[in-house]
Structure 1
Amino acid sequence: MSYLNELEAHLHALPRDERDETMAYYDEYFTDANLSNSAARKQFARRLIADFYMDADDESEIRPKQQLRMIWVVILGLLASPVILPVALIMVALLVSALAVVLSIAVTIVSIVVAIIIIAVVSIVTGVAVVFNSLSGGIFFMGVGIAALGVLLLIGPLMISFMRACFNGLINLIKAIGRRFIKKGANYEA
């Protein structure tokens, strides 16, 4: 049965044991439904992958690379789901804009960290260069550089935690939208 081989090729994003269970179950399902359209099978595979990710409640179950894949799978699942097309397009736009916000927050945090590091290095180097001409000026600049490093050590973990919280919030939003609009066990035929 070539359609099952094609389905299994589309399910490469699932873990092997989940893929084997799914293939065994849906071998019978496809036989009973006499499903032969390759586009319907591809859509069905996308929905199965989306169902798998929607069932993964614990963030430790899904590695970061799989989380990015989950975002893409949910978007494809939304577009493949039997909801009204404008609603699906609005949900996809919402997900893309939420992803853009999270990425912009990440870029901003990285930029702040880089700026603090540059300020610290420039201040320390300036302080070392100035210390021979003006002791108080050199100590001041070195102090500013060391203070900048101290600020980085204090707020760095907070920034990382904030970035993680934003990304986990995005993942939870994607799962919630996926659970709402991608119905598990729904009719997967095109």
Structure 2
Amino acid sequence: MTRTDYLTQLETYLHKLPEADRIEAMDYFKELFDDAGPEGEEELIASLGTPKEAAHDILSDLLDKKVNEAPAQKNDRQLLHIALLALLAAPIGIPVGIAMILTIIGLLIAAVSVILAFFTVSVTGILLGGLFIVESFSVLVEAKSAFILIFGAGLLAIGASSLVLLGISYVARFFGLLVVRLVQWILKKGKRGDRHA
């Protein structure tokens, strides 16, 4: 395999990375090949492993770097994307890889279900609270205490439902981090397994 073949294959494995990260990784590998020179290419390729293994290492390192970034700089969607790319680039057996991907898909389905349930409950609570407030005016003439009770229940329903609606973002962030941590754990376990083999 030549330098050009290696870099071309590596770039195909990294093509879904954010452009800045991909360019940085490719520049690093080009510098490695420049330093090795034409006579040291084969030795460098042997030490780097296959392009897929190199891509896996790049994605794992990038995932670790992104997870440890300051919270203001983090992009949760990009972090999840990099985690899944790192998992797909991992040199693991096909059945194990399929099982891990299905586990992650199951977690994502569970997360979406929980988020939809919270959203449905909160929207229903807000609508019922509004209905209670409107209906409370129909009993205002007959009994002021009933008006206060129903009006208060409406305000309580709207307030509690609004808090649940705010909690949805935290639940989504929790499930996203759970998936990222799971992928990190799998990748670290795979690296340990490679060392002992």
Deviations 1:146-189 (A, max 9, x none): 111232355555554444333322321222123323x49x8xxx
Relative to structure 1, the CA distance from residue 46 to residue 145 in structure 2 (aligned partners, 3 Å threshold; closer, same or farther) is: farther
Who is 1:26 aligned against? 29
Shift of 1:20: 4.6
Output the CA distance in 2 between the equivalents of 1:167 and 1:23.
28
Deviations 1:98-140 (A, max 9, x none): 2222222222221221121111111111212443455444333
Structure 1 residue runs of 5 or longer lacking an equivalent are none
Who is 1:69 aligned against? 81
Output the CA distance in 2 between the equivalents of 1:158 and 1:130.
34
**Letter of the structure 2 residue corresponding to residue 93 of structure 1:** L
Maintained 8 Å contact 2:15/2:22: yes
Output the CA distance in 2 between the equivalents of 1:149 and 1:157.
12
Who is 2:67 aligned against? 57
Match of 1:89 among 66, 77, 98: 98
Mapping 1:1-190, distance limit 5 Å:
4=7, 7-8=10-11, 10-11=14-15, 13-14=17-18, 16=20, 18-27=21-30, 28-29=32-33, 32-33=41-42, 41=51, 43=52, 46-47=55-56, 48-58=58-68, 60=71, 62-78=74-90, 81=91, 83-132=92-141, 134-152=143-161, 160-181=169-190, 183=191
Maintained 8 Å contact 2:119/2:165: no
**TM-score normalised by L of structure 1:** 0.69
Maintained 8 Å contact 1:102/1:170: no
- Of structures 1 and 2, the one with the larger relative CO (CA 8 A, separation 6+) is 1
Relative to structure 1, the CA distance from residue 116 to residue 127 in structure 2 (aligned partners, 3 Å threshold; closer, same or farther) is: same
Maintained 8 Å contact 1:53/1:70: yes
Maintained 8 Å contact 1:14/1:49: no
Deviations 1:35-86 (A, max 9, x none): 7xxxx75x467523344114433263531220231243134224xx1x2222
Output the CA distance in 1 between the equivalents of 2:24 and 2:119.
42
Aligned residues: 175
RMSD over equivalenced CA pairs, Å: 3.5
What percentage of aligned pairs have identical amino acids?
Answer: 19
Q: Equivalent residue of 2:17, what SS? A: coil
**Letter of the structure 2 residue corresponding to residue 56 of structure 1:** K
Structure 2 residue runs of 5 or longer lacking an equivalent are none
